[in-house]
Amino acid sequence: MKKIIILILAFSITGILSANDNLLLLEEANKSYTEDNFEKAIELYEKVIENGNESAAVYFNLGNAWFKINNMPEAILYYEKARKLTPYDDDILFNLQVANSRIVDKIESVPEIFYVRWWKNLLYFFSVDQWAAISLIASGLLMLMLLFFLLSNWYWLRKTSFWLGIVFLIVAGTGYLLANQKHQSFIREHQAIVFTPTLTVKSSPSETGIDVFVIHEGSKVQITDHIGDWLEVQIANGSVGWIREDDVKKI
């Protein structure tokens, strides 16, 4: 029993020390940034991330540091990582827009079908945990309505509980789908930023494939397939082709 307590204390102390180290690194990184020592700030922010302290704020600051030394692909990469965690942050969206205006490609997006746009807006309205909580609460209320429907002798209560049960069923199912989809979007690296100055996209996963189109560093691509060290990608205008995996960094 004593050994278990000692182990628990050891892990607790290690966790506290690690958190303190990350906090000191973050403070030093912020100080380096304010002193215009952007290379040092980048090094320290990357150490914070390597230690497992990933957050929209750290990614945003790291993107700003890369922007300050005029490295747009790295800046866009970390702004996109920050936006993945907080999609509607005005500062992140503005800085990302400015960085995208500094790269070669200005690719027009294909308009999304209205219901796809609505679903995406709904998806990002709450966090994964919030959608999961909504689903659980709605499921509990659904069970309660089911009990009222089965046990009540009052017609009006049975009718009300039936229709409310339908509503809670829809909310619970929608909340589960949204929580699951958002969780999958976090763990899957399905988007990437191009890091090759000029990249020729092929029609097939081979150097002998036909040249389809050209994109440049800083452009964002959607990963749709993966064969060996080749990625099938799609750009915002809907064009599709194959590139080498080492030509991009995944968001």
Last residue of a domain, one of 139, 162, 187: 187
Q: Do 121 and 182 sit in the same domain of this protein? A: yes
Q: Do 164 and 200 sit in the same domain of this protein? A: no
In the prediction, which pLDDT does 5 show? 37
Sheet containing 198-202, strands listed edge to edge, beginning at the edge strand earlier in sequence:
211-216, 198-202, 240-244, 230-234, 220-227, 191-194, 248-250
Reply yes or no on whether the pLDDT at 246 is more than 80.
yes
Last residue of a domain, one of 76, 100, 124: 100
Last residue of a domain, one of 52, 77, 100: 100
Whether 179 maps to a domain, the answer reads: yes
Question: Which pLDDT band holds residue 1 (cuts at 50, 70, 90)?
Answer: very low
Whether 141 maps to a domain, the answer reads: yes
Q: Do 176 and 122 sit in the same domain of this protein? A: yes
Percentage of the chain modeled with pLDDT above 70: 90
Q: For the chain, what is the domain count?
A: 3
CA 68 to chain centre: 23
Q: Do 86 and 142 sit in the same domain of this protein? A: no
In the prediction, which pLDDT does 19 show? 55
Q: What domain range includes position 52?
A: 2-100
Q: Do 128 and 173 sit in the same domain of this protein? A: yes
Mean of pLDDT values over 208-237: 95
Whether 13 maps to a domain, the answer reads: yes
In the prediction, which pLDDT does 17 show? 40
Q: Do 163 and 200 sit in the same domain of this protein? A: no
Element spanning 47, H or E = helix 38-50
Tell me phi and psi for residue 235, to 5 degrees: -100, 175
Measure the N-to-C terminal CA separation of the chain; round to a whole number of Å.
45
CB contact set of 78 (below 8 Å; sequence gap of 6+) = 59, 60, 62, 63, 66
Whether 105 maps to a domain, the answer reads: no
Whether 80 maps to a domain, the answer reads: yes
Q: Do 72 and 150 sit in the same domain of this protein? A: no
Whether 55 maps to a domain, the answer reads: yes
Q: Do 224 and 155 sit in the same domain of this protein? A: no
Q: Do 135 and 80 sit in the same domain of this protein? A: no
226: domain CATH number?
2.30.30.40
How far is the C-alpha of 233 from the C-alpha of 246, rounded, in Å? 13
Using CB atoms within 10 Å of the CB of residue 37, give its burial: 0 to 12 exposed, 13 to 18 middle, 19+ buried: middle
Whether 56 maps to a domain, the answer reads: yes
Q: Do 9 and 92 sit in the same domain of this protein? A: yes
Percentage of the chain modeled with pLDDT above 90: 69
17: domain CATH number?
1.25.40.10
pLDDT digits (tens, 9 = 90+) for 91-141: 999 999 999 999 999 988 777 788 878 887 888 788 788 899 999 999 999
pLDDT digits (tens, 9 = 90+) for 173-187: 999 999 888 777 766
Whether 86 maps to a domain, the answer reads: yes
Question: Which pLDDT band holds residue 159 (cuts at 50, 70, 90)?
Answer: very high
Q: Do 154 and 221 sit in the same domain of this protein? A: no
How far is the C-alpha of 5 from the C-alpha of 193, rounded, in Å? 47
Q: Do 222 and 204 sit in the same domain of this protein? A: yes
In the prediction, which pLDDT does 188 show? 66
pLDDT digits (tens, 9 = 90+) for 50-105: 998 889 999 999 999 999 999 999 999 999 999 988 888 999 999 999 999 999 99
